[in-house]
Amino acid sequence: MLILKKINNNVALASNDAGEEIVVFGKGVGFPKTPYELEDESIIQRVFADVDEQYMGVAQSVSDDVLLASSDIATTAGKALDCKLSGNLAFTLADHIQYAIERVADGIVFENPLANEVRFVYPREVSLGARGIEIVRERTGIELPACEAISIALHLVNSEIDGMGSAQDMDLVMKSAVILDRATQIIEKHVGQPLDHSSYAYVRFVAHMRFLIRRLKQGGSKRTENSSLFCQAAKDFPDAYACARDINEYLSDAYGWSCSDEELLYLMMHVNRLR
């Protein structure tokens, strides 16, 4: 393995056999003068792929234990959620956890005002956030407050939708939690009973809404030649159409967004599955 650049004494930018740039963690890996050929690769404890250069510097401001804890959380989440997470996750999460630890030392606790919405919409991620607190304790000996499970969960959600970890991306995640909470309430009102958040249909609905929200926020709208199909479906499934229309009216009133006929058709399909 070719070590290209020191990030800190234990973290470095490297090149693997395929010529791809990766970030590696291992005791003393960044200490020798770079570039150099690492002959004993057994010292490498972690390998991070697809890390944006702007996040590599995080390793200079966090402890090794925090970076290892964040890596463990990312690995655990990737397996549990069964999806590809952003390569930046371990570093953006480490940055957050380091500051959270410093706040604990100062006796400062920040409660997230959207905690209830996040628990409601992202139960799997919040559960993983709680496991993340345990991992941090195991790695660092520091007990983070329970509310940090929400923050860790939001980082996971951000990573799931291929976010890059910026404040703008996190704002989208927070906004999505509010919108999904309200959309779920609208559907539950139409069907007359609570939805099963553990069901495959609901998980698919949440995934669809995340991408719809991102597209609408960016000013895009999915338009195809399916308007005639939508009109027919609206006639055949009036209850699903009424529900999708109410969700669209909420998005319009609250955010000034408007779904196309194509997007309303997909919403109707998800509502039918949830019914």
Segment 262-271, tens digit of pLDDT: 889 989 999 9
- Name the residue ranges covered by the structural domains of the chain: 1-49, 50-165, 167-274
Q: Same CATH topology for 50-165 and 167-274?
A: yes
Q: Which two tokens stand for residue 152?
A: 């860790």
Q: Which two tokens stand for residue 273?
A: 């599955």
Question: Which of 79-93, 156-170, 178-192, 249-263 is predicted with the least confidence, judged by mean pLDDT?
Answer: 156-170
111-138 average pLDDT score: 90
Whole-angstrom distance, CA of residue 207 vs CA of residue 211: 7
CATH of domain 167-274: 1.10.1790.10
User: Which is more confidently placed, 173 or 126?
Assistant: 126
- Is the distance from CB of 118 to CB of 112 less than 8 angstroms? yes
Q: How far is CA 235 from CA 109, 159, 239, 264, in A?
A: 52, 39, 9, 13
- Is the distance from CB of 34 to CB of 6 less than 8 angstroms? yes
Q: Which residue has the tokens 């039918």?
A: 272
Whole-angstrom distance, CA of residue 61 vs CA of residue 9: 12
Q: What is the mean pLDDT of the chain?
A: 88
**What pLDDT is attached to residue 164?**
41
Helices (H), 161-199: 167-191
Q: Is 25 helix (H, G, I), strand (E, B) or coil?
A: strand
Question: Which of 9-13, 42-46, 112-116, 261-265 is predicted with the least confidence, judged by mean pLDDT?
Answer: 112-116
Whole-angstrom distance, CA of residue 134 vs CA of residue 124: 16
114 pLDDT tier (thresholds 50, 70, 90):
confident
Q: Is 94 helix (H, G, I), strand (E, B) or coil?
A: helix
Whole-angstrom distance, CA of residue 205 vs CA of residue 184: 10
Class of residue 263 by CB neighbours under 10 A (exposed 0-12, middle 13-18, buried 19+): buried
First to last CA, the chain: 54
Looking at domain 50-165, its CATH class is mainly alpha
CA atoms within 13 A on the CB side of 211: 11
The CATH number of domain 1-49 is 2.30.24.10:
yes
34 residue type, one letter: T
pLDDT tens, 45-60? Answer: 999 999 988 888 899 8
Q: Which two tokens stand for residue 220?
A: 């895009």
